[in-house]
């Protein structure tokens, strides 16, 4: 349980300072609602990806999925929200197969470097409408295979 009157921590663990604290608190409260209400680049077809490679790369370029409270938000805040969304997405995919399909933890590579490597590889792909989770999973299997005991 978090202390009352304090700003929530970002994914990196840092507490926002000054006027950013209120904005981050608002976004933390809004994020679950936004994720449920946003179609997230799907056409509603069964099996359609909620987040496509194209959308993940757009987020990585600093454009968040979460609707911002004001259209003229400072760029640094917009990019920060988008960066946290990409990190959360990547963490979810990594956690889903860690230790079985890939072993990112054994690699010793810091999370931000894992994210950067995967995003860079996604930029080279030719299927922007493909599901981002599957594309990330395929790259993780290639980049961070598990070392099996013999």
Q: Does 31 reside within a domain?
A: no
Q: Does 18 reside within a domain?
A: no
What CATH number is associated with residue 116? 1.10.890
**Which pLDDT score is estimated for 46?**
57
Domain tally, the chain: 1
Q: Does 67 reside within a domain?
A: yes
Q: Does 20 reside within a domain?
A: no
Q: Among residues 61, 131, 65, 133, which one has the least CA distance to residue 95?
A: 133
Domain of 75, in residue numbers: 42-143
Q: Does 72 reside within a domain?
A: yes
Residue 144: phi and psi, rounded to 5, are -130, 60
**Which pLDDT score is estimated for 106?**
92
Please enumerate in sequence order all residues whose Cβ is within 8 A of that of 90, keeping only pairs 6 or more positions apart, or say none: 111, 114, 115, 118, 136
Q: Does 30 reside within a domain?
A: no
Provide DSSP, 81-112. Answer: HHHHHHHHHHHHHHHHHBTTTB-HHHHT--HH
Q: Does 15 reside within a domain?
A: no
- pLDDT tens digit string along 66-105? 888 887 889 999 999 999 999 999 999 999 999 999 999 9
pLDDT higher for 62 or 28?
62
Q: Does 34 reside within a domain?
A: no
């Amino acid at each position: 349980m978090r202390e009352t009157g304090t700003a929530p921590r970002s994914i990196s663990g840092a507490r926002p300072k000054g006027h950013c604290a209120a904005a981050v608190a608002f976004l933390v409260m809004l994020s679950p609602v936004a994720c449920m209400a946003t179609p997230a680049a799907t056409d509603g077809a069964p099996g359609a990806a909620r987040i496509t490679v194209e959308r993940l790369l757009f987020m990585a370029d600093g454009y968040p999925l979460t609707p911002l409270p004001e259209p003229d938000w400072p760029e640094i805040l917009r990019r920060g929200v988008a960066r946290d969304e990409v990190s959360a997405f990547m963490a979810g995919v990594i956690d889903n197969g860690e230790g079985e399909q890939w072993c990112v933890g054994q690699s010793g590579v810091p999370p931000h470097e894992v994210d950067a490597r995967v995003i860079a590889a996604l930029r080279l792909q030719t299927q922007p409408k493909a599901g981002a989770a599957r594309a990330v999973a395929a790259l993780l299997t290639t980049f961070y295979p598990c070392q099996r005991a013999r």
